[in-house]
Structure formats: structure tokens, C-alpha cells
Structure 1
């Protein structure tokens, strides 16, 4: 996607393009190279200005391969004429400017993924831990739809689904539960469920009490709700993200925090974990570049669970790591002052990868990534 706008709307164009992870090009500086690889273009230009119309026609006529051409239109007395002008420039659809961002977010969101068939749903529920997985998935769907429509969030449903995951993991084991998720899910929803299952494994292994376990489980299920506003072609992109795409991804912790702060009766502890699960102890994370003691215990645990889940998840374009390999990579990250070693050690113990009790033993030469023998 390429976002094209008039210079006098540059501020609005940059903000909207940034939310969608798309490069923005000013109409006055537009070249054919800017559109050469575009599959779709969003145009935010003054179609009453004949100079703008002429530049657009000159550019778009030379890139007929762009089949999707969305034009943003102002409401009002001239709306009909603007739509006619857009059609003359090859528009495939129009959107009212003030509603466009919300509409595009919904269209490109992971909520637009294909729904599971009745047979596939029955197969999931019959699998190990499948009922709790299906219930957690449904809770995620409600959350993602809620943030897109700015609707209230039923925290009770989230808590019930999270508690169901913890009970199921305690009953069948974390490895079996996570394997069921990988058999039935992919992409962003697979990751969210894996993080929740890993958190349950951590809570079980650490023997966390009721309040602590509940906070961790709720934080895990809620942590990536902000990804609802990130286009799915970015979240599921098989290659390296562009700078614009990565900046868009970095918006998701803040988007989730803002939504939950506004609509959910979520504890401050969980809200903090949702906002800061991509922070690093050395201050290199996002969105607030917190460091050291500024990052709370729950957030440190959630961060480790999130990274572990990302490493063991199944995607066609990346290697799926074993628990042993994933813990080894987390040890390396703790040596580099990115994540909390105590949280890594507890997670390792929970998944059958014991680590030295003292961090100094790791620094003095222990490396879990080295094969046995």
C-alpha cells in the first residue's frame, strides 16, 4: 500500500499512513518509482484542484497494475462531484475522510481472517485442552472486535477464559496444550494463545497464588489486543518489515493500553504489563524506553513468556524453536541485559530446562544453547 496526499494535508497524511504502516508520498513529489511495487494506493488529495487532478492522472495512468485505488472524499455539498472526479481517475472505491482510518483498520485487521468451519471447531474442542483454547479464542475475538468498534470490554469473560486456560494447563500439561494450539491456529491468534498457555505453564511451575496467577493470566490474554489495529499483512508478513511497517507494529502496546484503560475494569498492574511488555531492561525497548527498576515484576514475566511463545510458534516462513533452544536464546538476552534472568530461570524450570540458580554462573561460561556433550 502507498498513501498519496496533497502537501497541505501532509500532517493528516503522515498520521494516517503511520497508523497503517504505509509509506506516504506527497503528490507534488510523486514519481513512478514510488508506485512501481504498489498493489494498492490510498489517495487523499483535493480533487477540486486541477493541478492535483492532473498530477494524479499522470501518475496513475502509467501504473495500470494498481487495481485497488481508494479515494478519500469530504462530506458536504460537493461530495457527489468529488466522487465523479475520483471515478474518472480510476477509483475502485470511495471513503469519507473522517471515517476512513477506522474503515481501513477494520478491513485490514486480523479479525477479517476466515472463520473455522463447524467441523474444524468440533475437532478443536475434542483435542487436548481444546475447550479452553476455543473459549480463549472467542474471548480474543470479542476483544479485537471491541477495540475496532470502541466498544466496552467484558473483563469477566476475559478472566473466565484465562482461568480456564490455567486449569486446563494444570490438568494436561503446558506442552500438550501448546501443541493443540499449534495444530489448530496460525498467525496472530496462534501467538496470543501460545503466550497465554506459556504464562499458564509459568504460573503452574512457579506455584503462583490465586491473585498473582490471575493477574499474569489476564495480562497474557490481553497483552496483544492492540494488534487489532495493525494490518494483518504486516503482522503476517513473511519477510523483514519496512521501517514504516515496524513503526506501525510498535503502536500496538499503546493502542491496547488506551482501549483497556478506557473501557475495561482492568487492574493498573495488568495495564502496565500490557503497555510495557516490549520494554527491555537496558532501555532499548518500546513504547516508553523504560529501563531496570522502572519495569515491574509482572511485566518482566510477561515479556519472557511473550518472547518464548514467539520462538516456539509455528509459521511457514520461520524456524520453530524447541523449548530448550528458546530458553537458551532467552538466557543470551538476559546476559545482554534485555530480560530478567530470574523470570527466564523460572520459565526454564517450568518447561524442563533447568538453569543455574545464580546469574553469575551463566556469565562465567554456562550456555544452554550449547548442545549436550
Structure 2
């Protein structure tokens, strides 16, 4: 038998440390209960371990709320004691066999990456030929990223994405995964998690119209090539302006994700309050992804090294948000990109 501890939400939280498997049976339609549950999970649940959330009716809102608190499994309580026992046995089996748990996470990550990758490719191919970019594809792709990072964890997501050779594909999925993890660590509401993930997945859509010999060049770009590459924010923004269906906040990110708080960014030299919070968040994920990604002409930086470089950028980035981003870096683990 495995040790089991029942923790009522109204009771003082124990100092027993994180559990192998956490089971939540809480009224997720009550704000106070969810707030208290988040506090309890921050103490009693280790990220990456199974988190089984029980819901008492088939309800989309309850399901989304369970996902928002990080549930890796959601089970509807319908009077089937056997179903609950069977799933618990399976979950404890995964904990006892780290290899099985790792493989399960990789499988979840691969499924999410395939779904997000297909959505991204569909949008990118449409943009390359001047056809309308589908808002529905963006929603499908961002939801796949959010679900996968929530269930598989950010480290596994990055490990799988790093195996892809296409530079733009790899970069945008890295940024989207980091943005999803960041939004979840910040405790964003579901709609705000989705908005940030969509911004990350869409931010480089303008690169679809950059010549392939520049976009896929295996070496560093020349100054002339870099000037062409730097047109992608304006190109992407103008492309999406010509069609309906996209949140103006997303268009702002497509145009301004290379702006810096000190005014030294491009294309419009925005500074300070002119740069939205959504842009600040996306820019942090964008820069971090570029530092840890694997390129033929440069070795990837370790998670901690990449973060230290961004800290040294000082007033260019929102340092308060960057400090909060440390939680994502911690979840990736030391030396992850160099393995």
C-alpha cells in the first residue's frame, strides 16, 4: 500500500512536501475554492507528477478550469468506483516506472506538436502565397500547445521540438511552448493563456514572405540579408490587416515583438508604455527561444545562461516579467538545451 494523505482545503497545509500523485475533488465553480486549491497545489504538488482532477458533471467550464490548474487527468465522477480505482492504479504505476512516465509525456508532447505544427504550417503556407490566414487554425494550434504543455510539461515539449530541423518551425513552436508555460506559471485566466499562446504562434508570420535562401540559411546572415529579415514584422502586420478575424492585440504583437522598452527596437522605435504587456511577454519568450535553440552556426545556451544574458539586457526588457519567467526556466532544468 502507498501512503495517502487527505488535506481539506479549509485546514492548515501540512509540511509533508510534494506527493507522487495528487487527486483534487474540489468545487471548481467557486472562486474561493479554486484560489485555495492553487495555494495548496503550489505546496503539495510537484510539477510533472500526475494531477487527477475529479469533476461531478460533464461541463466545459469545469473541464477548462481543471486544465487551468494543471490537471494531467480529468475524471468525471459518475458512480463508477472501479473506473477511479483503475486509473489510480495506472497513475501509481507510472510514478513507480519513471521510464513509462517520461514516455507518456513524450507521447503527449508529440501529439500536441503534430497538431500545433499542422496548424502553423497551414497558416505559414497561406501567408507565403498571399492567401488569407485562418483564425481557426490559429485557435486550434494554440489550444494544442496549451494542452500539451499542461499535460506533458515544458521540458518535454522543448525536448521534442528541438528534434525538428526546420528553423522557423522549431522557433515558433519553442516560443509558443514557452509562452504557454509562462502564462500558466503566472496563473492567467484561460482566455489570457490562449491569447498569449496565439500571439507566440503567430508572431513571425511575416517570415513566410522572406526568401527561403535567407530564411533557411545555415550560416549567420550578412548585414544585407539581415535587413531583409527585419522586414518580417511589418510584412506580417500588413498581411493580416488585409483580412478580418484577428484580435488587434495579436496584430500589435506581430508588428512590435522586436521593440525594446528603451526605444532601441524595430520597426517603430516604441518605448516604455507604448509597448503592451502582451508584447513584453512575447518578446521575452522570443528572445529566450532564440538563445536556447539549436542552430548549425551556434551552440545552444543552457537555460540559466540564456536567462543571465537577458538580465544583462537591463532596460530593454521588462525585468519584473523576466524575474517571473525564472519559474519557467526552473521547470526546464539545468543544461537542458545542451544535452
Structure 1 length as normaliser, TM-score? 0.58
Whether the 8 Å CA contact 2:123–2:137 is kept in 1: the answer is no
Give the secondary-structure state (helix, strand or coil) at the position aligned to 2:163: helix
* Aligned-partner SS, 1:286: coil
How do residues 249-260 of structure 1 correspond to structure 2 at under 5 angstroms?
A: 249-260=229-240
> Do 2:106 and 2:160's aligned partners in 1 also have CA atoms closer than 8 Å?
no
Corresponding position of 2:329 = 351
Q: How does 1:1-80 map to 2 (within 5 A)?
A: none
Q: Which residue in the other structure is 1:230 paired with?
A: 210
1:178-197 to 2 correspondences below 5 Å: 178-197=158-177
Unpaired runs of 5+ residues, structure 1, are 1-124, 354-373
* Partners of 1:211 and 1:218 in 2: CA distance: 10
Query: 1:196-254 deviations in whole A, cap 9, x for unaligned?
Result: 11111101111111221111011011000100111232233344422221111111011
- Structure 2 match to 1:297: 277
Q: Which residue of 1 aligns with 2:308?
A: 328
Tell me which residue corresponds to 1:158.
Answer: 138
Equivalent residues of 1:195, 1:305 under 8 A apart: yes
Q: 208-217 or 183-192: which moved more?
A: 183-192
Length, aligned pairs only: 228
- Structure 2 unmatched runs, 5+: 1-104, 332-339
Distance in 2 (CA, whole Å) between partners of 1:256 and 1:295 is 18
Contact 1:152 1:264 in 2 (8 A): no
Instruction: Give the Cα separation in 2 of the matches to 1:326 and 1:186.
Output: 22
Q: Distance in 2 between matches of 1:275 and 1:142?
A: 20
In the superposition, relative to structure 1, how do residues 332 and 126 fare at CA in structure 2: closer, same or farther (>3 Å)?
Answer: closer
Matched ranges for 1:271-282 at <5 A: 271-282=251-262
Partner residue in 2 for 1:342: 320
Question: Which residue does the alignment assign to 1:199?
Answer: 179
CA displacement, residues 15-36 of structure 1 (integer Å, 9 cap, x when unaligned): xxxxxxxxxxxxxxxxxxxxxx
Q: Secondary structure at the match of 1:263?
A: coil
2:226 corresponds, among 246, 251, 260, to 246
Question: What whole-Å deviation, never above 9, does each CA across 1:243-279 have from its counterpart, x for those lacking one?
Answer: 2211111110111111112224111111111110001
Inter-partner Cα distance in structure 1 for 2:155 and 2:161: 10
User: Deviation per CA, 1:23-60, whole angstroms, max 9, x where unpaired?
Assistant: xxxxxxxxxxxxxxxxxxxxxxxxxxxxxxxxxxxxxx
Classify the secondary structure of the residue corresponding to 2:162: helix
Alignment of 1:117-196 (within 5 A): 127-196=107-176
Contact between 1:206 and 1:350, CA under 8 Å: does it hold in 2? no
Q: What secondary structure is seen at the aligned counterpart in 2 of 1:201?
A: helix
Measure, in 2, the Cα distance between the counterparts of 1:179 and 1:254: 31
Aligned mate of 2:291, from 311, 325, 328: 311
- The 1-side partners of 2:320 and 2:192 are apart by 16
